[in-house]
Chain A
Amino acid sequence: MEIRELIGALVTLMGSIFIFLGGLGIVRMPDLFNRIQAGTKASTLGTILSLIGLSIINPAWIWKLLVIVFFVLITNPVSSNVISRAAHFRGTKMTDKTVTDLLGESQNKTKEE
């Protein structure tokens, strides 16, 4: 009984560490696309871990928490993809260390043809 609640609390603590790192990445990254990658990915994993930890503590709530986990897992990549496409279309500057830009290359190729 006690061990199960302790494991759930530790999983929730791990998720909150990931959420904190997502916030740190969204402040410190040099570029919009790096910020999207750091913030969205880390906060998705953190939310999933903390909800799973709460469902370990309270086993009666597991179905509702699993619905929210499924929903976050589906919708968060979609929203980050929409925002990054819009920013690329808008001509947001990338950082100087960028190596490749596949979406811009494919758009240039379609324009030339």
Chain B
Amino acid sequence: MVNSILFAAGVLMALGILLALIRFIKGPDVTDRTIAFDVMTVASISVIALIAHFAGRIIYMDVALVYGLLSFLSVVVIGRYIERGL
């Protein structure tokens, strides 16, 4: 019961990542692509947390934390670069 509900949650998260990927491919501007990238990484943090629950290993949470940190850093760097150049 619990595991099937969590599996449905994982399928919904994957659908959300897929929709953001459509915008990432189609987006007319670089800022659209950056926002789609941001949504994709934030959604994959929770997908990694679900995988950690299914595998039963807490060490995957560190992977999620570092992934979010790198995505935040890359989005901020891209924003600064668009605004006034490095």
Contact = CB atoms under 8 A, between A and B. Distances in A.
Secondary structure call for the A interface? helix
B32 A79 contact: no
Interface string A43-58: 1101100110010011
A92 to B, nearest CB: 6
- Which size class do B's interface residues fall under? 35 or more
Contacts of A89: 82-84
- Which size class do A's interface residues fall under? 35 or more
Secondary structure call for the B interface? helix
Q: Which of A6, A21, A51, A67 has the most CB of B within 10 A?
A: A51
A15 B46 contact: yes
Contacts of B50: 12, 50, 54
Interface in A1-42: 5-6, 8-10, 12-13, 15-17, 19-24, 26-27, 32, 35-36, 39-40
Interface of A: 5-6, 8-10, 12-13, 15-17, 19-24, 26-27, 32, 35-36, 39-40, 43-44, 46-47, 50-51, 54, 57-58, 60-61, 64-65, 67-68, 71-72, 75-76, 78-80, 82-83, 85-87, 89-90, 92
Interface of B: 1-2, 5-6, 8-10, 12-13, 15-20, 22-23, 29, 31-32, 34-36, 38-39, 42-43, 45-46, 49-50, 52-53, 58, 61-62, 64-65, 68-69, 72, 75-76, 78-80, 82-84
